[in-house]
Amino acid sequence: MTAPSRRRWLVVATLALIVAGSALASLNMRAKTTSDAGVVPAGTTTALSDAPKGATLTVKLVQPSASRWSETINANGDITAWQEAVVNAEIGGLRLAEVLVDVGDQVKQGQILARLDAATQQSNVTQQQAALSEAIAHRAEADSNAARARQLRTSGVISAQDIIQANTRAQAAAAQVESATARLESARLMLRYTEVKAPDDGVVSTRNAMLGSVSAPGAELFRLVRQNRLEWRAELTSAQLSRVRQGMLAAIALPDGTNATGRVRQVSPVISDTTRTGLVYVELDRDNSAGARAGMYAAGTITVGESSGLEVPAAAVVQRDGHDYIFVVDQSSNVMLVKVVIGRRAGETIEIVEGVTSKERVVASGGAFLNDGDHVRIAADRERSAS
């Protein structure tokens, strides 16, 4: 072989080795990538024990229990005064000399709320007393003359006509005394009216009296909530109204976050033509309704009876996709997601209307961390095995 031929052969051999090395490196790289990605090549087997296992959640179980649930009616309405008392000025044209109470003050029946200037009425009383004294004196004189005329009737000194006139003057004098007495009583009554008094126990809700103003006859000076009694006037439909009876309990949620209680005092006998609702008058308990104020609009419930039902802890109910579910545990300690229909709530418990029975074992809490079919560990079983 000549020298040029030998050189060409060496070049071809070298190129062949380079191509073979590149192919081998590419195969090694692909194998490594497949191994890193966790892909098992075809024909390769792996033991089941090498597969990852799911975590087990320890839960406590409860059974739905039967209980008595109150049947209530929800309603809204105004809180108003049981009755209001309007305190007016009995006489007019007098200046307000004193205003003794303000809005919110508790008052007693007969308590003086304001005083009018009594100087004019006091003067009138004095005048009428003098007029009465004068009338009494005239009556005494007339009575004396009539008695003397009757004594002289048999002597013939005085005529029968004179006797009649004497008796008539005595009777007129007596009538004048009665008239003067009545005028004096009227003047004294007007004097008493200068003291504006509370007609009943209650709390002052409105005050229109202003010091120094001149009152007009019948002008409203104050308004009282009689006996400080408030009531909730709940608006109910005709179907709801038929279930309410006098004496039923009611609970009202006040705007300040507190609650008020009361009893049904009266049920309206008519339904409104416009709203198609009727009123239930609930008298509020004074001791449990400190936050209630006339004029509030509040929501509440009226208890109309009781019924039996199943209850579970509220924490046992989970919401998914807009529906309510609970987890029921079978004998193999696997959970099943069961759709339920919930009803009333009371504190930390909730009523289950449909979906489970009292014999089911229900996960008490922690359902948000479970899925249908998960295996769980029962807290009571773990405690027994530890002991």
pLDDT at 16: 60
> Which of 170, 200, 223 corresponds to the end of one domain?
223
Regarding whether 100 and 217 lie in a shared domain, the answer is yes
- Say yes or no: 254 and 332 in one domain: no
Region of residue 73 (left: phi > 0; alpha: psi -120 to 50; beta: else): beta
The answer to whether residues 233 and 244 belong to one domain is yes
- Distance CA(28)–CA(6), nearest Å, equals 34
Q: What is the pTM of this model?
A: 0.60
Q: Tell me, what CATH number does 260's domain have? A: 2.40.30.170
266 and 187, same domain (yes or no): no
Quick one: 158 and 65 in the same domain? no
CB 302 within 8 A of CB 72: yes
Residue 324's alpha-carbon distances to 62, 220, 265, in angstroms, are: 17, 59, 39
- Give the closest residue to 360 by CA, choosing from 323, 334, 327, 384: 327
User: Domain check: are 293 and 253 in the same one?
Assistant: yes
Which residues have CB under 8 Å from 137's CB, separation 6+? none
**pLDDT in single tens digits along all 387 residues of the chain:** 555 555 665 555 665 666 555 554 444 444 343 333 333 332 222 222 333 344 468 889 998 988 888 888 999 999 999 999 999 998 988 999 999 999 999 999 999 999 999 999 999 999 999 999 999 999 999 988 888 888 777 776 777 888 888 889 989 999 999 999 999 999 999 999 999 999 999 999 999 999 999 988 889 999 999 999 999 999 999 999 999 999 999 999 998 889 999 999 999 999 998 989 999 999 999 888 888 999 999 999 999 988 888 999 999 999 998 899 999 999 888 999 999 998 888 778 898 988 888 889 999 988 888 888 888 888 864 443 333
Please give the Cα distance from 378 to 57 (Å, whole number). Answer: 8
168/132 same-domain check: yes
Residue 49 lies in a domain: no
Q: 157 and 116 in one domain? A: yes
Domain harbouring 351, CATH code:
2.40.420.20
Question: Are 97 and 61 in the same domain?
Answer: no
Give the whole-angstrom CA distance, residue 174 versus residue 94.
Answer: 34
Take residue 173 and report the two structure tokens written for it.
């004098």
The pLDDT of residue 165: 87
**Per-residue pLDDT, 178:** 94
Q: Are 305 and 354 in contact (CB under 8 A)?
A: no
In a domain, 217, yes or no: yes
Question: What is the predicted pLDDT for the residue at 114?
Answer: 95
Q: Which amino acid is at 111?
A: Q
Residue 19 lies inside a defined structural domain of this protein: no
59 close to 379: Cβ distance less than 8 angstroms: yes
- Boundary of a domain, candidates 163, 193, 223: 223
For the chain, what percentages of helix, strand and coil (3-state, to nearest 5) are there?
30, 35, 35
Residue-level pLDDT at 12: 55
Asked if residue 316 and residue 375 are part of one domain, the reply reads yes
Same domain, 123 and 210: yes
For residue 95, count other CB atoms closer than 10 A to its CB.
Answer: 13
SS3 state at 378: strand
* Residue type present at position 147: A
Which structural domain range is residue 187 located in?
88-223
Residues in the chain: 387
Q: In the chain, which ranges are continuous DSSP H helix?
A: 3-36, 119-151, 160-193, 238-241, 379-386
Q: Are residues 104 and 180 in the same domain?
A: yes
Q: Count structural domains, the chain.
A: 3
